[in-house]
Each structure stands twice: as structure tokens, then as C-alpha cells.
Amino acid sequence: MHATTSAKKQKEFMDKLQAEIDVLQKRIGKDESAEAIVSRHINLLHRYNEAKDAAQLLIGRVSNFTRSSTASRRC
């Protein structure tokens, strides 16, 4: 046996979901698409990773220059 849901309950559930969608859409902007948001976040992550890689390279060079390891400097 399968549980059944009345048409009224289904409509109430759909209305509730639509209200949540409307609230979220207001928060991100009416004309902004999810694809644009995801694309922007991916670009920001790439920039972050490039900066992190450069910082790690510099830390490694400083460690080589001072003849110490980064692991020995951890607290």
C-alpha cells in the first residue's frame, strides 16, 4: 500500500515551496540566475587558489632560505 496525499495537502505543500523559492530569489536578486552565481563563485575560487599557491610557494622559498621546514614552525 502506498500513502496517499490529498490534492489540498499537495497544493499547500507546493504553495509553501513556492514561497520559499520567492524568498530565496529575493535574497539573490530577481534578475540573477543560479548559473551566473555559480560561475562567479567558481571564478572566485580559482583566484583564491592561485593566491594560495603563490603564498605557499613563497613560504617554501623562505623555509629553504632559512633552512627550516614549515612543519617545524607549526604550533
Annotate 6-27 with DSSP letters as a single string. -HHHHHHHHHHHHHHHHHHHHH
Answer yes or no: is 39 within a domain: yes
Domain carrying residue 35: 7-73
Compute the chain's Rg from CA coordinates. 25
Answer yes or no: is 2 within a domain: no
Cα–Cα distance measured from residue 63 to residue 71, given in angstroms and rounded to the nearest whole number: 10
Answer yes or no: is 1 within a domain: no
| pLDDT given for residue 5 in this prediction | 78
Answer yes or no: is 32 within a domain: yes
Total count of domains within the chain = 1
Per-residue pLDDT of the chain (75 residues; tens, 9 = 90+): 466 779 899 999 999 999 999 998 888 887 888 888 899 999 999 999 999 999 999 999 998 888 865 566 555
